[in-house]
Amino acid sequence: MKHRIAFISDHASPLATLGSVDSGGQNVYVAELARQLSAQGYLIDIYTRRDHEQQKEVVEWLPGVRVIHISAGPATYVPKEQLLPYMPVFAEEMETFIRRNQLGYKLMHAHFFMSGCVASVIRRQLNIPYVITFHALGLVRRIHQKEADQFPVERVSIETMLVHDADHIIAECPQDKEDLVEHYEACEQNISIIPCGFSPREFYPINKTTARRQLQLPVNGKIVLQLGRMVPRKGVDNVIRGLGNMKKHGDPVYLVIVGGEADMPEVLNTPELKRLQQVAAGAGVLDQVIFTGRQSRQVLRYYYSAADVFVTTPWYEPFGITPLEAMACGTPVIGANVGGIKYSVADGRTGYLVPPHSPEILAKKLDQLLSSPTLHTTMTRNALARVRREFTWEKVARSMHTIYMQVYRKPAEERINNWHDSLLLKDIGQFLKESFFVPGVIRPVPGGS
């Protein structure tokens, strides 16, 4: 008998085009985990918000995987920072869909804190347990982004409730677990560390010259690759400044930057692009920087394979899937010593870890790696071995299956007792209704931190 699971991913649809401001690692995580779980015998329904009028309510995406679009707010793009007020409606519409179609879910897996709000409300109505992967924590984000963080201040209080309400929490790396325990007083026994992964069918080494010709990139010289969302916290400016601090090599060194809001690098569609162009001009490397715009997922393995080194130096990173994809294509990684990157990149073996705001140190590591063919070959071999051994989506799904079974096999009486205790904090649905619309106010959480 196949078990039916509901994924809730409020803003991150597996059908979305990757590389835009609100489309990235979470979309990949949801898509690939669902794909692998369905291969292991699960039936997965992914609930996400309708953001286009032409979207069908139900999309049969893969064998055993459906995407269900929930009407909550306008059927157009809304920044995820503005979606929280629509979550009560999301929960109501999702519950209606479940009841109308008589869907017997064994469990819900909430992705992101807003999805956790929905899962908490539905559990109280339908007695379906839920696990949650936060993908990012509001308090950690606020520490690093300060006033640039545009999420409602209520986020931290809601996350605190969810930490004590969920049947189980999935942390993506040891730092994620430490943050949950330290900042949210989470119970360590209720947290399992399961990392992100990569798909070997999608990411594998391609001959470097072949890849560069396919992408019409310079065949000669060294290529440093930066790939991801075009937002300040990703630290792309730091990589550009790092390029400007490098020593002069015999071969030219290019920085290829993949990402943005459009397929072509246009300032109008990607405001961050203009700032980065100015940074490159100020660092004297504008002629060495190649902006490609947003690229389809099908060609990313060519970019990873075309590069001599992949660099990612965000201010913080809950996990970071791109380093895994780069290593899977045989490309060493220089990454910021933060979050999941310091977990996936083995410093000195598969690449290097550097402080996130230190272009001089980044330049030194780039010089070191690009000037030694022997070191580069060793790190390439180590990167491939590590990522294939530790970080496939198939392995992630097997680990997740174990957690799912532990949760839905727990005696119902025990779950009910846990839920009753969580109500001492406060019903999340009621909290949302009371909190909006009073901007700038964090409601205290009784019994919380």
> pLDDT (tens digit, 0 to 9) for every residue of the chain, 449 residues total?
689 999 999 999 999 866 555 567 899 999 999 999 999 999 999 999 999 999 999 999 999 999 999 999 999 999 989 999 999 999 999 999 999 999 999 999 999 999 999 999 999 999 999 999 999 998 888 887 766 777 888 899 999 999 999 999 999 999 999 999 999 999 999 999 999 999 999 999 999 999 999 999 999 999 999 998 888 889 999 999 999 999 887 789 999 999 877 777 776 667 788 899 999 999 999 999 999 988 988 999 999 999 999 999 998 888 889 999 999 999 999 999 999 999 999 999 999 999 999 999 999 999 999 999 999 999 999 999 999 999 999 999 999 999 999 999 887 666 555 554 554 445 666 666 665 533 333 333 333 33
**Domains defined for the chain, CATH in brackets:** 4-197+394-435 (3.40.50.2000), 208-391 (3.40.50.2000)
DSSP symbols for 245-314 = TSPPPSS-EEEEEE--SSSS--TTT-HHHHHHHHHHHHTT-GGGEEEEE---GGGHHHHHHH-SEEEE--
- Which one-letter amino acid corresponds to residue 82? Q
Please report the pLDDT score of residue 446 as a whole number.
33
Rg (CA), the chain: 22
Per-position b or e across 307-344, b if 16+ CB within 10 A of its CB: bbbbbbbbbbbbbbbbbbbbbbbbbbbbbbebbbbbbb
Q: Write the CB contacts of 278 (distance below 8 Å, at least 6 apart in sequence).
A: none
Are 168 and 331 a contacting pair, CB within 8 Å? no
Q: What is the pLDDT of residue 277?
A: 94
Question: What pLDDT score was predicted for residue 412?
Answer: 65
Question: What is the pLDDT, as a whole number, of residue 448?
Answer: 35
Furthest CA-CA distance within the chain: 70
What is the reported pLDDT for 411?
A: 73
The whole-number pLDDT of residue 196 equals: 95
Name the token pair of 54.
């032409």
